[in-house]
Amino acid sequence: MREMKLEQDLDATDRRLMVATQAGLPRVSRPYDVLAEQLGITADEVLRRLQRMLDCGVIRRIGAIPNHYAIGYTANGMSVWDVDDSRIDELGEQVGALEFVTHCYHRPRRLPQWPYNLFAMVHGHGRPEVDAKVDQIGLILGDACYHRDVLFSTQILKKTGLRISG
């Protein structure tokens, strides 16, 4: 796991760059020039800082976030699994590597209400496709998994993304 404490390495200009880009990149021919002008630094410095934040993981990636529904993935199931603690890391890596899993986390159980410790998000073009994919995860987990469930989303109540204040 790549866990580093990097907040002390981010300076005020990095934070201003984060705030300036959190709504999105300018959609003009020279977007980094626009940011440079906004921040009062050179475009080279904008590029250098973005590259550094990518390198250290403050930025995961620079790209587009599709609305899954709009690109045809109409079903979204959060599959949850009660997996043997001694095998969860080995199996979690295998589940995350499946091409249809978009998020995969080890999270704490909340007993007695919640026995599941592995969460894998699965998207599909309809529920039968999600169910079939969830079965594939089940095959990987095998007898290391004691209970499972799939929570389909039925409504997006809010989706604003994260907000960073300067």
Partner 1 sequence: MRETVASDTVLDEIDRNLINALHGDFPLVPEPYRLVAEALGLSEAEVLRRLDSLLERRVLTRFGPMFQIERAGGAFVLAAMRVPEAGFERVAAQVNAFPEVAHNYRREHAMNMWFVLATATPQGIARTIAAIEAETGLPVFAFPKEREYFVEMKLRA
Q: Which parts of 19-48 interact with partner 1 (CB under 8 A)?
A: 21-25, 27-33, 43, 47
Tell me how far apart the 2 most distant CA atoms of the chain are, in Å: 59
Distance CA 157, CA 118 (A): 24
Would you count residue 105 as binding partner 1 (CB under 8 A)?
Answer: yes
> Cβ of residue 146: shortest distance to partner 1, in angstroms?
18
Q: Is 79 in the site for partner 1 (CB under 8 A)?
A: no
The answer to whether the beta carbons of residues 48 and 54 sit under 8 Å apart is: no
Among 60, 112, 139, 143, binds partner 1 (CB under 8 A): 60
Q: How far is the CB of 46 from partner 1 (least distance, A)?
A: 9
Query: How far is residue 65 from each of residues 20, 49, 53, measured CA to CA in Å?
Result: 18, 22, 19
Residues 108-137 that bind partner 1 (CB under 8 A): 108, 110, 113-114, 119, 123
Report if residue 141 touches partner 1, rule: CB under 8 A. Answer: no
Question: Which one of 129-137, 139-147, 157-165 is the stretch in contact with partner 1 (CB under 8 A)?
Answer: 157-165
Are residues 13 and 53 in contact, defined by beta-carbon separation less than 8 angstroms?
A: no
Which of 42, 18, 66 has the alpha carbon at shortest distance from 165? 18
